Amino acid sequence: MFLNIRARAEGDKRKQTGRLVTFTSKNLKDWNFQGDFWSPGIYTMFEMPEIFKIGEWWYLVYSEYSQQNKILYRMSKSLKGPWIRPKDDAFDGSAYYAGRTAFDGNRRILFGWVPTKLNCEDMNQYEWGGTLVPHEVYQREDGTLGTKVPDSVWNTFTNREELESLSLKTIDTREEAIICKDAGRLFAFETTIKFEEGTREFSIRFYEDEELSEAYEYKFSLVDNRFTFDKNPNYKWFQMMNKGLERPIYLEVNKEYNLRLIVDDTISTLYIDGVALNARIYKKFGDAIALTVTDGAITTSNTTISKTLNR
């Protein structure tokens, strides 16, 4: 039996000496110190360590709060390492923390929490603690891990309405189309989206005020290979503290991608191509959902929305 415990070297806590150390035991009473298990030299401390195996790969999952405040992982084909850092080593953004997984013999579910903000205001800092949100973790063909909404969560939404398919195209502007005028404060939205060669970015906007076009927005930059969450427009200056609300994303031209967005009052969660991003939001500008494209073209199909739960 071995046990990994988070630790740091003696001295100033600002030093990046966070590590895992190993103890072994034959009777679960007497434990022997075996030294460092993993000491990357990049964190002041990390926590919630967990190790599990899928196929030939071992995965080390942990939460760190001295760099990006994220739930991260490393992968190895041996418990002795080396522990490889994948291209995208996170499960979500900085608004998702302190995760643990559970395995039921079929699914592995990651349970983390989306933090609240001080005084329930978009501009304020995150607090310690929040609302549980589960992600289902799955293994891709290359061994890396992806996330998706658990079927048991998605299927809780009922009475799905079909929405119009869209085709938006522009050369040098942003084009927008309202796809649902009355989404409300609880909904599960889904669409299949595809973009053409040369497209700069597209986005999905919700809680939109149709008159002023104020909304929260998940924006996909196909130039920078990332997507971000923010309030748009940000007038005056920035309107929410969104540090860390971004993910890397690598989407291919003319390939169809399933996009799912769940909004439950002050929490929004988006999934696309195995990548998830949570956000905490407090303002309600309106009830519309819109899609946009900038300098390019997108098409959508199989678009639905559910606003009711099977209780």
* Residue pair 108/98 in contact by the 8 Å Cβ criterion: no
Work out the percent of the chain whose per-residue pLDDT is above 90: 82
283: preceding bond cis by omega (within 30 degrees): no
Mean pLDDT of 76-95: 96
pTM of the model: 0.95
pLDDT of 258 over the 80 cut? yes
The per-residue pLDDT of the chain, averaged, comes to 94
Q: Strand order in 57-64's β-sheet?
A: 46-54, 57-64, 70-76
Mean pLDDT of 109-126: 96
Q: For position 257, what pLDDT does the model report? A: 98
- Of 16-20, 223-227, 267-271, the range with the lowest mean pLDDT is 16-20
Q: For position 162, what pLDDT does the model report? A: 97
Q: For position 89, what pLDDT does the model report? A: 97
Q: For position 215, what pLDDT does the model report? A: 97
Query: What values do phi and psi take at 278, rounded to 5?
Result: -95, 155
pLDDT of 112 over the 70 cut? yes
Whole-number Å distance between alpha carbons of 42 and 74: 14
Mean pLDDT of 271-284: 97
Mean pLDDT of 178-185: 97
What torsion do the CA atoms of 258, 54, 85, 73 make, to the nearest 10 degrees? 80
Q: For position 67, what pLDDT does the model report? A: 86
pLDDT of 5 over the 80 cut? no
pLDDT of 96 over the 90 cut? yes
Q: Which residue has the higher pLDDT, 59 or 129?
A: 59
pLDDT digits (tens, 9 = 90+) for 138-181: 999 999 999 999 999 999 999 999 999 999 999 999 999 999 99
Q: Which two tokens stand for residue 177?
A: 């189309």
